[in-house]
Structure 1
Amino acid sequence: MDEPRAIRRLSILIPVYNEARTIGEVLRRVRAVELPYERELVVVDDGSTDGTRDYLQEEASRSRDLVLILHPVNRGKGAAIRSALEAATGDVLIVQDADLEYDPRDYPRLLRPIAEGRAQVVYGSRFLGEHKAMYFWHWVGNRFLTFVANLLYDTTLTDMETGYKVFTAEVARQLRLRSDRWGFDPEITAQILRRGYRIYEVPISYNGREYWEGKKITWRDGLTVLATLLRYRFFDSTPR
């Protein structure tokens, strides 16, 4: 075990695209979590057209803890997170989706292994904690893609596609992310594992939303994830 890690600032990276219905509540929940260190909310509006951008600009004008980045057009979650990484100044960074599927009250559990020096990367597993039942084929897809990641990269993850990914600034500085859209999750996982980091998993709660509530991922995105895992294992020359 490493020495306990002093966390002075937590950067919460929030990619947003057309989430006017939920973004206000997400920000409220993030701020309501009691943590013993400073936090910054790095929010990237990825070309929203439903009023989300107007809300965020007003929120940023009156909030000292919110850093707002605006993409002129929609570029995808991966591109939004790259922009957030460039602006983040925290010792530890956590990805927070802008819907209500993931509960910020899980932050203390997610941060504990890093604060205690047991890990530099932590994933929150939806399959280890309490959760709303997923669509069957989403469950199959998640399990299959996680199995492929385990097979290719010699690990034993239970949830590679989780939205809660936490890592230190040291890890963040080594990432060379290129995927703009749904290739983000396998890309960051592959790069982390190729560099020799072991991912620590903790159980989280999960409240998956329905398509009528704005869920965006489809089976086609699963093909992107699979292709990204294979590319980084066999064809990519990104330095380890």
Structure 2
Amino acid sequence: MTDRILVFIPMYNCARQIGRVAAQLSGRIKPLIAEVLVLDNGSRDGGPEVARDALQKIEGLAWTVARNRENYNLGGSHKVAFDYAIDHGFSHVIVLHGDDQANIDDFVEALQAGLHLRHDSLLGARFMRGSRLHGYSLYRQVGNYGLNILTSAIVRHWITDQGSGLNLYSTNYLASRFYNSLHDNLIFPAEMLYQSIFAGANFRFVPISWREEDQASNAKPIRQALQILNVAWNRRRIFAVPPDEPPATGRGFDVVYKS
């Protein structure tokens, strides 16, 4: 398959940040990507219009701003975007969250080196050598390091992030659409990680930069950590049965703006 990369940007009430995220796409990453899909999850702050205005400033970039037909949560938005990437012949999907905490340029060197061609997924890691954190509280850093160490011991595989806002997946790896059996909620990226470990997939962590400035998070850290520990501990039982549930009927998005 020809190297053809979709950048998927999930967004919910990110009007203050989405313009900065879109501006990232005019940098070194631009010649490496084929299309951008900004997928809004029912924002009430005018985010889609901000995204449109920012993307229109980037010459030669194919982009779509769309809105989910319902609020599918973070995991559900991933599922819709993965389906789109598979159905439209993309070779890879880069997931870049719309809240401007990650920088997509952190993946440029990995792409230029062809790491995405040798792995099923590249996972942005905030807590490994070479990563850079800005404005991230010491409390949260300690909590994440502790969770990474504990889950690494459980699964016997070194974990340096449970799921950041910058990841890449091969559509060959996604082709069975196993992801439709995972939860729609915020732990979806972590479930993707532990499914990869269970299935013996070939993935690699890549150090990234991460910042917290004007973002608002819906995550409840302690509850989310307990959910992740449950997935790690019970991964064999959770992932042993092949998915048998098709995507929800009618699940999809409507195009709002397009280049």
Which TM-score applies when normalising by structure 2?
A: 0.77
Superposition RMSD in Å: 2.8
Matched, 1:52 2:47: yes
**1:95 Cα shift?**
0.9
Give the counterpart letter for 2:107 in structure 1: Y
Match in the other structure for 2:35: 40
**1:117 Cα shift?**
4.6
**Relative to 1, partners in 2 of residues 1:149 and 1:163: Cα closer, same or farther, differing over 3 Å?**
farther
Match in the other structure for 2:169: 167
CA distance in 1, matches of 2:47, 2:116: 37
CA distance in 1, matches of 2:185, 2:143: 17
- Asked if structure 1 preserves the Cα contact closer than 8 Å seen for 2:22 and 2:54, the reply is no
* Aligned pairs for 1:134-149 within 5 A: 134-149=136-151
Matched, 1:120 2:120: yes
Matched, 1:105 2:101: no
**Relative to 1, partners in 2 of residues 1:131 and 1:192: Cα closer, same or farther, differing over 3 Å?**
same
More moved, 88-97 vs 27-36: 27-36
**1:162 Cα shift?**
2.2
Secondary structure of the residue that 2:25 maps to in structure 1? helix
Matched, 1:198 2:193: no
**Relative to 1, partners in 2 of residues 1:38 and 1:54: Cα closer, same or farther, differing over 3 Å?**
closer
**1:175 Cα shift?**
4.4
Secondary structure of the residue that 2:218 maps to in structure 1? coil
CA distance in 1, matches of 2:55, 2:30: 21
**1:143 Cα shift?**
2.2
**Relative to 1, partners in 2 of residues 1:206 and 1:197: Cα closer, same or farther, differing over 3 Å?**
same
CA distance in 2, matches of 1:230, 1:112: 36
More moved, 35-44 vs 181-190: 35-44
**1:61 Cα shift?**
8.8
More moved, 98-107 vs 11-20: 98-107
Deviations 1:97-148 (A, max 9, x none): 1112111221213424544754232122212222225223322332233234
**Relative to 1, partners in 2 of residues 1:118 and 1:8: Cα closer, same or farther, differing over 3 Å?**
closer
CA distance in 2, matches of 1:141, 1:175: 32
Deviations 1:201-228 (A, max 9, x none): 222111134xx63233222222332233
Matched, 1:79 2:76: yes
Match in the other structure for 1:214: 216
Residue 23 (structure 1) aligned to one of 2, 5, 18: 18
**1:39 Cα shift?**
1.8
- Asked if structure 2 preserves the Cα contact closer than 8 Å seen for 1:183 and 1:228, the reply is no
**Relative to 1, partners in 2 of residues 1:153 and 1:114: Cα closer, same or farther, differing over 3 Å?**
farther
Matched, 1:234 2:237: yes
**1:160 Cα shift?**
2.5
Identity of aligned residues (%): 22
**Relative to 1, partners in 2 of residues 1:139 and 1:37: Cα closer, same or farther, differing over 3 Å?**
closer
CA distance in 1, matches of 2:116, 2:95: 20
CA distance in 1, matches of 2:116, 2:184: 33
CA distance in 2, matches of 1:191, 1:25: 32
Which TM-score applies when normalising by structure 1?
A: 0.83
CA distance in 2, matches of 1:100, 1:60: 15
For structure 2, list consecutive stretches of 5 or more residues without a partner in the other structure: 244-259
Match in the other structure for 2:253: none
